[in-house]
C-alpha cells in the first residue's frame, strides 16, 4: 500500500488517478488547498495533517504502507516571502514529523516533490541536476532544506528516496474529470484560460524587458500527467531497490515565453486575449528550462505531451470545471 500525502492537491490527485491502477492507495490531506472531489474513489481518503503525529500513527498502524509520496506543501513564491513562518512550518517542520513517524514504523521509501525554485537564478541555458542550487526565496529554501534532511536520513537511517524537481506543472487530466483549481489562482495558463472564458477582465504580463527573445520570461511547462508518470517510474525504481538516493529534474526541455504561451492559448481556443504589459513580479528568474536527460537515461522517462496538448487539456477542464 502506498501513502500519498497531499493526494487531493493538483499534482497529487493526478498521480493518485494513475497509481490506483497499480497499487492500493491511502491519501492523507488536510484539504487546506486540496479538493476532496479530486481524489479517485478507488483510494482510501483520510482527512488529517502530516504535521500531526497522531494522525500519522493511526495511518501507519492501520495500513501496511511500503512507500510514501509527499506532495503536500505551500507553493507560492510571493507568499513565502511575506509569510516565511508558514512555509518553514508546513513545508519543513511538518515533513520532518512525517519522516520521524516513517522512521519509527521502519517505512523506507520516500518520493518528494521539489522544485525548480531550488536553483534560484541559474546562469546556464539548460538546468541539470549538477547546476548549483541557490534558492532566492523561502519557498525554494524550504524545499531544499527537506532535500538535505533526506540525504542525512538516508545516510543515518537507511531511508531510500527520490527527489523530483518540477518545472512548471500545467494541464489537466485528459478525461476532464480533474484539473487545476487554486484559490486565488496565480499561475499563467489558468489565468489566460479564465480570461478567454470571460472570467477575468485582462491578463497582466509580468515584465516585458527581460533579456529573452521577446522580453518576457521563459519557462518549461510540463503536463501534469507526464509528472504523474515520472512518479510511478521513480516508485518502481525504489521498490525494486534500483535507486536509493536520487534527484531528478522534470521538464520538457523546451522554453516558452509568456507571450508564446498566450499565443498558443489563442490558437487552441480560437479566442483573442486581452493582454496588458505590467511590472516584473518579484523573484522571477528570466529563464528556467530543465534538462531531464538524467531521468530519461536512468528511468526511461520522457515528457510525452507538448505545450499545445497541455493547453488543449487545460481548456477542456476550465470549460467544465468541477471544483
Ligand atoms: N505570469 C504572468 N502573468 C500572470 C501569471 C504569471 O506574466 O498573471 C508569468 C510569470 O511572471 C512567470 C510565468 O508567467 O514568468 C509563469 O508563472 P507561474 O506563476 O505560472 O509559474 P512560476 O514560474 O512562478 O512557477
The string of pLDDT tens digits covering residues 65-102 is 999 999 999 999 889 999 999 999 999 999 999 999 99
Say if CB 222 and CB 166 are below 8 A apart.
Answer: yes
Angstrom distance (rounded) from CA 255 to CA 289: 6
Is 323 considered catalytic here?
no
Say if CB 55 and CB 49 are below 8 A apart.
Answer: yes
For 74, the grid coordinates are 505551500
The strand pair at 256-257 and 218-219 is best described as: antiparallel
Tell how far the Cα of 187 is from the centroid of ligand 1, in angstroms: 6
Q: Is the pLDDT of residue 234 over 90?
A: yes
With a pLDDT cut of 90, the percent of the chain lying above it is: 98
Q: Given ligand 1 and candidates 81, 119, 185, 188, which is best to mutate, with the most ligand atoms within 8 Å of its CB?
A: 188
Angstrom distance (rounded) from CA 55 to CA 20: 22
Answer yes or no: is the C-beta of 217 below 6 A from any ligand 1 atom: yes
Say if CB 254 and CB 183 are below 8 A apart.
Answer: no
Answer yes or no: is the C-beta of 222 below 6 A from any ligand 1 atom: no
pLDDT value at residue 111: 98
Length of the chain: 323
DSSP state of 127: B
Answer yes or no: is the C-beta of 258 below 6 A from any ligand 1 atom: yes
What's the mean per-residue pLDDT of the chain? 97
Answer yes or no: is the C-beta of 191 below 6 A from any ligand 1 atom: yes
Provide the pLDDT confidence category of residue 303 given band limits of 50, 70 and 90.
very high
Q: Is the pLDDT of residue 243 over 90?
A: yes
The string of pLDDT tens digits covering residues 264-276 is 999 999 999 999 9
- Which helix (H) or strand (E) covers residue 83, if one does? none
- Which helix (H) or strand (E) covers residue 146, if one does? helix 138-157
Angstrom distance (rounded) from CA 214 to CA 236: 41
Mean pLDDT value of segment 213-219: 97
pLDDT value at residue 282: 83
CA distances from residue 73 to 83, 86, 89, 178 in whole angstroms, order as listed? 14, 10, 10, 19
Q: Which residues contact 86 (CB under 8 A, 6 or more apart)?
A: 74, 79, 80
pLDDT value at residue 262: 98
Mean pLDDT value of segment 23-34: 98
Q: Which residues contact 66 (CB under 8 A, 6 or more apart)?
A: 1, 2, 107, 109, 239
pLDDT value at residue 166: 97
Tell how far the Cα of 188 is from the centroid of ligand 1, in angstroms: 5
Q: pTM, whole model, 2 decimals?
A: 0.97
The string of pLDDT tens digits covering residues 177-200 is 999 999 999 999 999 999 999 999
Rounded (5°) CA angle 194-197-199: 60
The string of pLDDT tens digits covering residues 110-155 is 999 999 999 999 999 999 999 999 999 999 999 999 999 999 999 9
- Give burial (CB, 10 Å; 0-12/13-18/19+) of 286: middle
pLDDT value at residue 283: 80
Q: Which of 219-228, 267-276, 278-287 is predicted with the least confidence, judged by mean pLDDT?
A: 278-287
Answer yes or no: is the C-beta of 259 below 6 A from any ligand 1 atom: no
The strand pair at 67-70 and 2-5 is best described as: parallel
Which residue in 10, 139, 221, 248 is the catalytic one? 139
Provide the pLDDT confidence category of residue 305 given band limits of 50, 70 and 90.
very high
pLDDT value at residue 38: 98
Amino acid at each position: 500500500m502506498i501513502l500519498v500525502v497531499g493526494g487531493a492537491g493538483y499534482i497529487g490527485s493526478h498521480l493518485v488517478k494513475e497509481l490506483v491502477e497499480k497499487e492500493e492507495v491511502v491519501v492523507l490531506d488536510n484539504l487546506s488547498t486540496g479538493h476532496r472531489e479530486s481524489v479517485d474513489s478507488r483510494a482510501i481518503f483520510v482527512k488529517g495533517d502530516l504535521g500531526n503525529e497522531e494522525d500519522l500513527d493511526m495511518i501507519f498502524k492501520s495500513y501496511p504502507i511500503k512507500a510514501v509520496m509527499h506532495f503536500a506543501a505551500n507553493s507560492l513564491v510571493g507568499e513565502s516571502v511575506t509569510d516565511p513562518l508558514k512555509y518553514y512550518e508546513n513545508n519543513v517542520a511538518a515533513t520532518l514529523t512525517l519522516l520521524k513517524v516513517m522512521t519509527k514504523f521502519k517505512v523506507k521509501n520516500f518520493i518528494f516533490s521539489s522544485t525548480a525554485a531550488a536553483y534560484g537564478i541559474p546562469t546556464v541555458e539548460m538546468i541539470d541536476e549538477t547546476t548549483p542550487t541557490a534558492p532566492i526565496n523561502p519557498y525554494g529554501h524550504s524545499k531544499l532544506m527537506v532535500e538535505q534532511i533526506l540525504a542525512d536520513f538516508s545516510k543515518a537511517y537507511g531511508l531510500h528516496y527520490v527527489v523530483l524537481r518540477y518545472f512548471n506543472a500545467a494541464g489537466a487530466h485528459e478525461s476532464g474529470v480533474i484539473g487545476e483549481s487554486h484559490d486565488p489562482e496565480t499561475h499563467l495558463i489558468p489565468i489566460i484560460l479564465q480570461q478567454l472564458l470571460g472570467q477575468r477582465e485582462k491578463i497582466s504580463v509580468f515584465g516585458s524587458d527581460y533579456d529573452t527573445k521577446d522580453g518576457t520570461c521563459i519557462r518549461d511547462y510540463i503536463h501534469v500527467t507526464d509528472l504523474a508518470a515520472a512518479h510511478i517510474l521513480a516508485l518502481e525504481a525504489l521498490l525494486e531497490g534500483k535507486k536509493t538516493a536520487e534527484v531528478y529534474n522534470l521538464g520538457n526541455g523546451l522554453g516558452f515565453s509568456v507571450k508564446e504561451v498566450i499565443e498558443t492559448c489563442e490558437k487552441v481556443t480560437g479566442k483573442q486575449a486581452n493582454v496588458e504589459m505590467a511590472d516584473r513580479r518579484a523573484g522571477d528568474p528570466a529563464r528556467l528550462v530543465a534538462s531531464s536527460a538524467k531521468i530519461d537515461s536512468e528511468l526511461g522517462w520522457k515528457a510525452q505531451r507538448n505545450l499545445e496538448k497541455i493547453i488543449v487539456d487545460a481548456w477542456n477542464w476550465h470549460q467544465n470545471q468541477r471544483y
